[in-house]
Amino acid sequence: MRSVTSVLTVLAMVTIPALSLAGPPLNGDYTTLDMGGPVSTGRATESWDAGGGELLAGTTLSAASWNGATLGAEWRYTCGTLAAPAVLLVDNVNASGNGNRTYMKTFVGGQMWLSGSGPWANGDPSYSGAITSYTEFETIQYSSWTAVAAVSNVQAVAHFDNYPSTCVAFTTSNGVKLGTTDNGGAKPMDYPDFIAGGTCTATRTLGAWWNMREMIISIAGCEVPVQNSSWGSLKASYR
């Protein structure tokens, strides 16, 4: 009996320090490689059912880091769904159908995930939580009433499951749409799946795919809500 007790005591001494190494992700502002930081840029999709579209309710997003070989090894945010049709903020399209329009898209739901080996690493194998707000400002360029290009700016906040006083705010200042099935294109294999809202399953076949650049992932305690920038301050992103 003494020998068993001694073994248990030793195991406890070994185990307790190991558990104490786990902790919330380290606070900080982590920028992507294209901004001189350590974080991978990303790729994203927005998908919809037949009869839907990127500006209509039901569109679902999925985004993941891309290190040149693997999707989602460092960060992911996925399964947010457009709650209502996008709101038109600025209309610069002329009578010939040329110009641009800027829309605000508000997504609800979704999950954020960070690898425990990222620059915010602090002992846990990963960090995940619910997205609590997600707003996208999308500017679409038209030629003869046909959408030919689009850029976006994203602002979002998530809270980690195991650390309720810690949140992650992430922004994207340069999302660029590369293609859409509306124009007969086919999504490349190395972009996130087209997923269905609610089930988050890869069952959709219609959507658009994007490159996500100039991102900032900010980790800190969130005792008060993070306020979105005004539209006036965001317009400069598209000049």
**7, pLDDT greater than 90:** no
Distance CA 44, CA 113 (A): 14
Residue 106 host element (H or E): strand 99-108
Give the tokens for residue 220: 């800190």
pLDDT recorded at residue 231: 47
pLDDT recorded at residue 22: 82
* Model confidence pLDDT, tens digit, residues 17-44: 444 468 999 999 999 999 999 999 999 9
Q: Over the chain, what is the mean pLDDT?
A: 87
* Model confidence pLDDT, tens digit, residues 167-190: 899 998 899 999 999 989 999 999
Q: Is 195 exposed, middle or buried (0-12, 13-18, 19+ CB in 10 A)?
A: buried
* Model confidence pLDDT, tens digit, residues 72-101: 999 999 999 999 999 999 999 999 999 999
What is the mean predicted confidence (pLDDT) over 200-215?
96
**234, pLDDT greater than 80:** no
**16, pLDDT greater than 80:** no
pLDDT recorded at residue 21: 63
Of 171, 176, 175, residue with least CA distance to 233: 171
**Residues near 98 by Cβ (< 8 Å), separated by ≥ 6?**
142, 143, 144
Q: Which amino acid is at 30?
A: Y
* Model confidence pLDDT, tens digit, residues 39-53: 999 999 999 999 999
Contact 234, 103 (CB under 8 A): no
Q: What percent of the chain has pLDDT over 70?
A: 84
Q: In 3-state terms, what secondary structure has residue 134?
A: strand
pLDDT recorded at residue 222: 62
pLDDT recorded at residue 40: 97
pLDDT recorded at residue 165: 80
What is the mean predicted confidence (pLDDT) over 224-229?
42
What is the mean predicted confidence (pLDDT) over 122-136?
95
CA angle 231, 233, 237 (to 5 degrees): 95
216, 53, 210, 229 alpha-carbon torsion, rounded to 10°: -20
Measure CA of the first residue to CA of the last residue in the chain; give whole Å.
76
**66, pLDDT greater than 90:** yes
Residue 215 host element (H or E): strand 206-221
Q: Which amino acid is at 173?
A: S
* Model confidence pLDDT, tens digit, residues 96-122: 999 999 999 999 999 999 999 999 999
Q: Distance of CA 161 to CAs 57, 73, 111, 138, 152, Å?
A: 27, 19, 10, 30, 28
pLDDT band at 229 (very low <50, low <70, confident <90, very high): very low
Contact 113, 126 (CB under 8 A): yes
**198, pLDDT greater than 90:** no
- 87-91 vs 99-108, strand pairing mode: antiparallel
pTM of the model: 0.83
